Structure formats: C-alpha cells, structure tokens
Amino acid sequence: MLSALAALAALLALAVPAAAAPRDPDRPVVAVAQGALRGRVHDGAQEFLGVPYAGAPVGDFRLRAPAEPRPWRGVREADRQAPACLQFSPFGLRDPLAVSEDCLYLDVYRPQGARAGEERLPVILWMHGGAYSQGTGTQFGGRTMAALTNSVVISINYRLGQLGYLGLPELAGEDPRRSGSFGLMDQIEALHWIGRNAAAFGGNPGNVTVSGQSAGSGSVCALLAAPAAAGLFHRAVLQSGPCTLLRTPDAARAASEARAFAARAGCADPGAVVACLRAAAGPALVDAARTLPTSGPASGDGLLPRDPAAAIAAGDWNKVPVLIGSTRSEARFFVALTQPRLTEQEYARQVLDAYGAAGPEVLARYPVAAHGSPYLALSALMTDSTFACQTARTTDLFARQVPTYAYEFDDPDSPTLAGAQVPGLDESNAHSAELAYLYDFTMGDRPLTAVQNALATGMKRYWGAFARYGSPVVRGQTPWPAAGPTGSVLTLGPGGMRPDRGFAADHQCAFWQTRPDRPL
C-alpha cells in the first residue's frame, strides 16, 4: 500500500509541470508513465529520442534483470539519442567513444499529428543486429517509415556481449528464471514499456510487431519461444536471421563459455565471481571478451526453455503472423571481410576440407568458372547453405502453423555498409543490404537512387501493412501470396516486385537438405 501511494504521489507531482509546458508544434510533449517528454519534429515526423525504458544496469545492477526506469520531475528533453551499449566487437559507430553501460534507451517515431487517445496506430519495435556484440538502435531512424505507413516505430538498445549474455550458474541463481540472458530480458522489458506507454504516442498496445535483422532476427526467434513474452506482441518480422540457422547454445555450453570469460577477466573464484564481475571496469570486460564467442541467449532455462527452432517445430511458441526473408547474396558481406583475395586453390581446399566425401560434388555445383571468381563462388555456396535454404526451412515451419509471407531482396546495385567495401569486389545484395530501404539508416555507403527510393517506398508500405493487418496487402502493389507448400517467395527488386516459385531451386535447397548443416 505504501509503495502504491508513493507511486501515485510521484505521478501527481509530475502532472503539474507537464500541464504547464508551453505548446509548440515543433516540440511536441507526451506524458509516459515516468513523466513528460518533449520531442521534436524532423523530416515530416515527430521523434522522441533517448527515452529510458529500464533503469541503468550499472554498479550493483550490472548483470541483473532490468528494472523499471525512475520517474522524473518536469519535462524531460527527448531530442538527443542516447549512447550505444558497450561494444564487444565495434564496427560502424560514428563516434566509437559514444558508448556506455547506461544504455537501455529507445527512440520513438510517430507521424505528425498523432495524438494520445486519438489514434490506434500499429507499433513496430525494431531490434538491431550485430552478432549480439555490436550495434545500436540509434543507427535506424524510423521517421520515414512512421510518416509513410502511419505507424509508431520504436528502435531500442539492448545489452551486448558478455554483459548481455552470460550463462554463469552463479548469476543465473540470482534470478527466478535462472537465466543470464540479460539482452533478451531487456527486449522483453522494452515490450512491457510499450504496453504501458504506446497509447501516449497514439499507438495501439494491442497491435505490436517485433522485428529485427541478423542477431535482431535471432532475438525475434527468442521472443517467439519465450513464455514471458507471450501476449506482448502480435506480429513478427525476421530479416536475414532464420531460427533454424541461429540456434541457441544450451545451458552447459553457455556455462562453459561464461567460465572461460570470467577466468580471463580475473574472476575465476566461484565464490567471488559475481562480485568480481560487477566490480570490474567495463573496458576491462570488453578486453577479456576478445576472441571469445558471444552466442546470444541460451536455451534450457526458465526464460527460454527450448531452442526457438525446436519450439516452433513442436508448435510450442507464441504464434503470430510472420514476415520472413533474406537478401540474394547474403554471404558476400562475410567473405569480403574475411577472405577478399581468395584464390581458386584455396577455395577448393576449403570446400574439400569442410565437406569431406561430399566436397567434390559441392565444388561441381559451385564451380569458379560459373561464378566468375573464387570470392563469388564461395559467397554463393555460403549464402545457399546457410541463409537462403535455412530461411526456406524456417519459413516452412511457420507456414504450417500461421500466416507467413516470405521475400528475397534482390537489388544488384544496392549500397553496402560504410567501411565494409573492398575495392574490386561486388558486394551488392549482401547481408544488411535491405536495411537502407526500410529505415533511415546511417551506415549505408551511399544514398539510394531515385529508382531505389521507389523500391524502398514499396517495401515500407508492405512492412507497414503487415504491421497493421498481419498481411502485407497494399493497394496498387503486387499481391504478396502467403508462403506454403509451393514455396512462393516475393522478390523485391528495382525492376519490380514479383512472386517467385524458383527460390528453392535457385539456391539448390534440395541438395543442401541432404548435406550436413556445416557451413564453411
């Protein structure tokens, strides 16, 4: 009772300053559960930046489940983005020093004119990728998506690396769910925040879409299988991160990796390991994690009882309509960064070593002569054996149970990520190529052309319709057939959008279904 009275008193104290805030059409004010926010108008939309959705996970709150954010008095300025979470493998940040453990913030974008209580706009929650070790929601503006599709777009930060995913038994024992997947807990906390506050922005808390790319898509997989996330969202978008590819480590593997990290951080004593990790400097923990894997959320605990792919296959998941897809040449990005000058002899040796007796057949299906270079041949092989055919496999699991819509992004002149270009290599259609077409993306190496902007507009409209209706039906655009036994996929390209039943054949998925799941 005392805590309830204290909370009521805090809200009453906030009401007077909020009501007294001057009205300015360029500086809109909204009232969320913690207090009033003053945003700004930018590029035809309203944005509220750097909004805390959880308490700061610092000091004794490091490596704990997120807590609700503290209320504030008066009107909080929400016109500046918050720092990124600590990066465990930095790439692409404009300011590498703009990081902090105090990073559980989100950015909200809504159409101009949206008002609390007057709209029931669909809400799109975006979770960035980055191998669970890098990235930030601030790289993904939602202004254009919000204005074009009349929706509320929210992009979040969540804890990364071993600060976000540490399956240490001593830590897990502190939480009733016995889990160290703090990044997943952050994402669930963000969904709770949306449930409490979406209406303040004109959004509908009963129509929330979770979406993500790469590790962000893996996070969507985890939310689909997490009992604690049931009822918090109503649609799901998975971009370049099929659940059957991004498998979760089990508790034993997660614990082994966590102990290796703790030992490297100088915290090997089991009796003092938790206090030691909480007292360590953040940069020291980043240094300790170098060369160690970051596997993302672990399964087999109270937060994520089963690996998401296994849960979906068994029908034991949070069933919602799904939109899923990949880019035409996903692996070009990874090969360009790791083996840009691969020779034909090196390519052949890698394939033979990886696939053993099946190696000659793999080489025959992906000959250098047919692709033009070892780089392109290896990229095609890796794309097909991982992202493309695993996307088809995951799509089939979904389509047997819920309305499912599959796509392939195919723009042979698409931009790539700034800083990832290798002179002389064609990196179009690679991993992350579609991001600049959907969001106000800050990491593209060049602006979109007029033709590409037209494609981007069509894609945003599809995504917005899916968020609104659970079906990407847009008047005047190509009908998007639901996925099913025929394997229909909608190709998204500058030459037009068209249903394509040849996706599985183009990527040789019948062959890869008979091969061991062992990407190079």
- Name the DSSP class of 259: H
pLDDT(515) > 90:
no
Mean residue pLDDT across the chain: 92
- Which residues partner with 414 through β-bridges? none
Do 241 and 282 fall into the same domain?
yes
Do 303 and 359 fall into the same domain?
no
Do 301 and 360 fall into the same domain?
no
Q: For 297-331, what is each residue's pLDDT tens digit? A: 999 999 999 999 999 999 999 999 999 999 999 99
Tell me which of 313, 330, 360 is where a domain ends.
Answer: 313
CB atoms within 10 A of CB 289: 23
Q: For 119-132, what is each residue's pLDDT tens digit? A: 799 999 999 999 99
The pair of structure tokens assigned to 105 is 């913030």
What does the pLDDT read at residue 287? 95
Residue 484 binned pLDDT confidence (cut-offs 50, 70, 90)? confident
CA distance 460 to 276: 47
Locus of tokens 């692996």: 331
CB atoms within 10 A of CB 344: 13
Cβ contact 367:286 at 8 Å? no
Which position has the higher pLDDT, 342 or 20?
342
Q: What percent of the chain has pLDDT over 90?
A: 85
- Which residues partner with 149 through β-bridges? none
As for how many domains the chain has, the answer is: 2
Active-site option among 151, 214, 379, 488:
214
Q: For 119-177, what is each residue's pLDDT tens digit? A: 799 999 999 999 999 999 999 999 999 999 999 999 999 999 999 999 999 987 787 88
Cβ contact 124:152 at 8 Å? yes
Q: Is 329 a catalytic residue?
A: no
Tell me which of 291, 313, 335 is where a domain ends.
Answer: 313
Residue 517 lies in a domain: no
Do 306 and 372 fall into the same domain?
no
Residue 124 lies in a domain: no
Q: For 394-432, what is each residue's pLDDT tens digit? A: 999 999 999 999 999 999 999 999 888 899 999 999 999
pTM for the model:
0.93
327 φ, ψ (degrees, to nearest 5): -95, 160
Residue 280 lies in a domain: yes
Tell me which of 293, 313, 333 is where a domain ends.
Answer: 313
Residue 61 lies in a domain: yes
Per the structure, the complete domain to which residue 380 belongs is given by 322-512
- Could you tell me the sign of the dihedral formed by the alpha carbons of 266, 268, 272, 275, in that order? positive
Do 386 and 309 fall into the same domain?
no
Q: Which long-range contacts (CB under 8 A, 24 or more apart) does 26-34 make?
A: 27/79, 29/75, 30/116, 30/200, 30/201, 31/116, 31/200, 32/196, 32/197, 32/200, 33/71, 33/196, 33/197, 34/69, 34/70, 34/71, 34/72
Do 305 and 371 fall into the same domain?
no
Locus of tokens 């794309």: 383
Cβ contact 106:51 at 8 Å? yes
Tell me the three state secondary structure of residue 402.
Answer: coil
Q: Which long-range contacts (CB under 8 A, 24 or more apart) does 410-414 make?
A: 410/327, 410/328, 410/491, 410/492, 410/493, 411/437, 411/452, 411/455, 411/492, 411/493, 411/494, 412/328, 412/493, 413/449, 413/452, 413/494, 414/452
pLDDT(433) > 80:
yes
Do 7 and 110 fall into the same domain?
yes
Q: In Å, how far are 294, 431, 434, 437, 461 from 444, measured between CA atoms?
A: 25, 12, 10, 10, 21
CATH number of 419's domain:
3.40.50.1820
Do 252 and 155 fall into the same domain?
yes
The pair of structure tokens assigned to 220 is 């969507």
pLDDT(15) > 50:
no
Do 143 and 186 fall into the same domain?
yes
